[in-house]
Each structure stands twice: as structure tokens, then as C-alpha cells.
């Protein structure tokens, strides 16, 4: 394996959590000191923009660009919110980060909030991540005690309150405006945009929402510089490192910190140890359950936003789920779509009614009762749902469905012709 610089996992030890003293020994809070003592808020935004950091929660939007839309100079209430509602099947990178080194997120949030001149921050975390929540609460208390958080941080005249908020559950809370409704104690339906959260977000005030991993990168960008950070990637337009959570039919299912742009083949064969039991690779989800499948023809694609878009998929969370040759892709897609249909908030018709209909069609085909007309109806539903739902949940659900129709049509038709799943005896 090629040695990869470890930023986010530099303090990671099996079964251990690095708290303040260990974090300080490895350069912790140096980025905060540099930001508060030598950089203006606008210069921090410019550094993050120049680094090329893109959102690590799935959407991949430029973090610095997102911050530049925020009215940092506007007086009054403003908020920074961390999205830790990690509920997509196959994605567990944020949990690994918070179990290993919670101060990275705390420091990253303080720097980000300083850049935005937001006096209050919230960490919205998945309800099941109880130990992660406790780790964060301890890290926040330690940071306050050490003077890195609270009033007049390091004599800078900048102050910040930071709070942990445990989610009540539901996948829809990963959508940033649904998350804001949930944080306010309201039903977590997505909000209409515009207005965007930067103009009217939490409690009607300017708000920026970033993912756990995104914010954890900020201190490293400030410490090492944007050019250094960008050059950690292997792809020409990539930047930094990325947490890759491996799952599925692999010999080794772990979370690794690897450079952005690493080939998919290397992720699977070197870090995942290859397909389990010596079987052949059939397909994978490259970035969580909402990303379109890739096949063996795509193994040399660079794991970066633009190269994956060129092969009609997405980097998403970069959590790779591998399927071997024995997998029925109709059954795998049905399993994924059942999750999305169940987790819909029910706000819009394409999602509320379309996803259950997709379930019904896939169930019928998988049982061997499907017809060619059902396949055509499935295509219609994929077209009708994609791009027409109120938020990205249904669009994500159609990622696997659309790629099933595009890449595995012969397998779907075999179910119809043979009257059963062809991979089952």
C-alpha cells in the first residue's frame, strides 16, 4: 500500500479516543491560534476556497464558496450547524472520526464559526451515536476549560457557544433544511429554497450547514496552507484526503483515510483486500446507498467528484459497498429502495407515492411475476421521480434504480423470461 498522509486519522488508535492532551501533542488547536491571531474572517474563507475543499457529506459543493454566500458582516444572530445525521446505509465515516478524535471537529467548527462570525454553533448528531455525542460533549468541555471555546477566545474578542443536539431519528434529517426544522423541534420536512439557509436558516437567521468530515478538515487547511492541502490529492482537480468506509463483499471492511482521486481498483484490491472468498467483483456503490452503481468496467475511475460524474455516478460519502458475482442486483436495488421509501417524509408526491410504486415493481420482478410492461413502468417511474421531487431524497433513491436499468437490463429481463431470479436455484 502507498503511504497516505493521515490528517483526520492521525490520532486514531484501535478502541481509543484522543482527547485534549493527546490532541495538543500532535498539533491540536494550532490552526485555531493561527486563524485568530493572524487571519481575518475573510482570509479564512479565502484559504478554504483556495484549498479546493468540497463538501464531504455527499453533495460536493465548494465549502469556501458556500461560506462566501454567508452574510458574515451582518450583525445579530447567526449560526453554524454541523450535520452529523449519518443514516445512509453503508456510510459510517463520521462515526469513525468522532470515535477517534472529536477535537478535530470542535477545532474545525470554531475556525469555521470565526470565519462566518457566527456566535453560536450546533452539532446535530444521529440519535444512535450516543458514544460520539459523549465524546463531543467532553471535548467541548475540555476546549472551554483550556480557553479555546467560550468568551473572548485566546484574547481575540471572538466568542462562541457550541452545543450538541441529539437527533430524534429519520434519514430525511440529513437534508439540511429538514435538519434545521428538526433542530427547531418541528416536523422535519425540507424547506422551499430560496430563501437559502445562508439568508434565512435556523430560527429564521443566517445559517451555514456543513458535514462532520468537511469541518474536521478546516484546521489542517489553515495549519498547512491551501496549496499543501490541495496537493494531497492524486487527481488534477481534486483536493485533500477523504475517509473511505468499505463494506459489502470484501475481505477487509474498514474505514481508511486515502487521497482524493485514488483509483477505485486500488481502494477495493489493496485496502479492501479484494472480493471476499476469491469471488469476482460484480458491482459497487461508490459513495453510499444513494449513488449509482459502478461495474468492473469502471474499476480504474479516479475516486473524485468530476471523474465519477463522467461515468454517471457520484463520490457521495465515498463509502464503497461491494457486491460479488452471486448478488442479484434486482434484489439489492429493492433492498435499498425499501429503505428510501420508508424514510420519505411524505411531503411530495414523487417521493411519497413514487418510491412505494418502485418497490412494488421491483418486488414483482424479483418474485418472477414481472412482465415486460412492468419494466417499462419502472423506466417511467425512474424518469418521473428523478428531478421532480421536493428534495434530494427521491433523487438519491433513483441513483441505484437508474443504474440498474442502465447497467443490468439483461438481469432484469432474465427475471421476466425465466419467471424467477436467475441467480437462485
For the chain, helix (H) and strand (E) counts, in that order, are 19, 9
The maximal CA–CA distance of the chain, rounded, in angstroms, is: 74
Q: What is the pLDDT of residue 1?
A: 62
CATH assignment, 329-418: 1.20.1440.230
The tens digit of pLDDT for each residue in 203-219 reads 999 999 999 999 999 99
Cα angle value 18/119/203 (rounded, 5°): 110
CB under 8 Å to 141, separation ≥6 — which residues?
none
For the chain, the structural domain boundaries read 20-230, 244-324, 329-418
pLDDT at 5 over 90: no
Task: Flag whether pLDDT at 125 surpasses 80.
Answer: yes
Q: What pLDDT does residue 7 have?
A: 96
Q: What is the CATH number of domain 20-230?
A: 3.40.50.11540
Identical fold at 20-230 and 244-324?
no
pLDDT of 150 > 80? The answer is yes
**Distance between CA 293 and CA 335 in Å, rounded?**
14
Does residue 167 carry a pLDDT above 80? Answer: yes
Q: What is the pLDDT of residues 175-199, one digit of tens each?
A: 999 999 999 999 999 999 999 999 9
Report whether the peptide linkage leading into residue 195 is cis, meaning its omega lies within 30 degrees of zero: yes
Q: What is the per-residue pLDDT for 424? A: 79
Confidence at 58, pLDDT banded by 50, 70, 90:
confident
pLDDT, tens digit (0-9, with 9 covering 90-100), for 7-38: 999 999 999 999 999 999 999 999 999 999 99
CB atoms < 10 A from the CB of 110, how many? 28
- For position 2, what pLDDT does the model report? 64
- Residue 122 has a pLDDT of 98
Instruction: Specify the pLDDT at position 387.
Output: 87
Antiparallel, parallel or unpaired: β 320-324 and 207-211: unpaired
> Where on the phi/psi map is residue 333: left (φ > 0), alpha (ψ -120 to 50), or beta?
alpha
Average pLDDT, the chain: 96
- The pTM (predicted TM-score) of the whole model is 0.95
CATH class of 244-324: alpha beta
Amino acid at each position: 500500500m502507498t503511504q497516505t498522509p493521515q490528517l483526520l486519522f492521525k490520532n486514531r488508535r484501535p478502541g481509543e479516543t484522543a482527547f485534549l492532551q493527546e490532541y495538543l501533542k500532535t498539533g491540536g488547536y494550532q490552526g485555531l491560534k493561527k486563524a485568530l491571531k493572524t487571519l481575518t474572517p475573510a482570509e479564512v474563507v479565502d484559504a478554504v476556497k483556495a484549498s479546493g475543499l468540497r463538501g464531504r457529506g455527499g453533495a460536493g459543493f465548494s465549502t469556501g464558496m458556500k461560506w462566501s454566500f454567508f452574510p458574515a458582516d451582518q450583525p445579530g444572530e447567526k449560526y453554524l450547524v454541523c450535520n452529523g445525521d449519518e443514516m445512509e446505509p453503508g456510510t459510517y465515516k463520521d462515526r469513525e472520526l468522532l470515535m477517534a478524535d472529536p477535537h478535530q471537529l470542535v477545532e474545525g467548527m470554531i475556525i469555521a464559526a470565526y470565519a462566518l462570525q457566527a456566535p453560536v454553533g450546533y452539532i446535530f448528531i444521529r440519535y444512535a451515536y450516543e458514544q460520539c455525542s459523549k465524546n463531543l460533549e467532553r471535548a467541548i468541555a475540555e476546549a472551554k476549560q483550556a480557553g479555546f471555546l467560550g468568551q473572548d477566545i485566546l484574547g481575540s474578542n471572538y466568542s462562541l457557544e457550541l452545543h450538541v443536539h441529539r437527533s430524534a431519528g429519520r434519514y430525511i434529517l440529513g437534508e439540511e433544511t429538514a435538519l434545521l426544522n428538526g433542530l427547531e423541534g418541528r416536523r422535519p420536512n425540507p424547506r422551499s429554497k430560496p430563501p437559502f439557509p445562508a439568508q434565512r436558516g435556523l430560527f429564521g437567521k443566517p445559517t451555514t450547514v456543513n458535514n462532520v468530515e468537511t469541518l474536521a478538515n478546516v484546521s489542517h487547511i489553515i495549519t498547512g496552507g491551501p496549496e499543501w492541502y490541495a496537493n494531497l490529492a492524486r487527481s488534477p482537480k481534486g483536493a485533500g484526503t477523504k475517509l473511505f468506509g468499505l463494506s459489502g463483499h470484501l475481505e477487509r471492511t474498514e474505514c481508511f483515510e486515502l487521497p482524493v482521486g485514488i483509483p477505485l481498483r486500488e481502494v477495493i484490491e489493496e485496502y479492501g483486500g479484494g472480493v471476499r472468498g476469491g469471488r469476482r467483483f460484480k458491482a459497487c456503490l461508490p459513495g453510499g446507498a444513494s449513488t449509482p452503481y459502478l461495474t468492473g468496467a469502471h474499476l480504474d475511475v479516479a475516486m473524485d467528484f468530476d471523474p465519477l460524474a463522467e461515468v454517471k455516478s457520484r463520490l457521495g460519502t465515498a463509502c464503497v459497498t461491494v457486491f460479488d458475482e452471486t448478488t442479484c442486483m434486482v434484489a439489492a436495488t429493492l433492498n435499498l429502495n425499501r429503505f428510501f421509501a420508508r424514510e420519505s417524509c411524505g411531503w411530495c408526491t414523487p417521493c411519497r407515492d413514487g418510491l412505494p410504486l418502485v418497490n412494488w415493481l421491483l418486488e414483482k420482478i424479483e418474485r418472477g411475476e414481472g412482465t415486460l410492461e412492468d419494466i417499462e413502468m419502472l423506466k417511467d417511474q425512474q424518469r418521473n421521480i428523478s428531478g421532480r421531487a421536493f428534495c434530494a431524497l427521491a433523487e438519491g433513491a433513483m441513483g441505484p434504480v437508474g443504474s440498474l436499468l442502465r447497467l443490468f437490463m439483461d438481469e432484469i429481463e432474465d427475471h421476466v423470461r425465466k419467471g424467477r431470479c436467475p441467480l437462485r436455484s
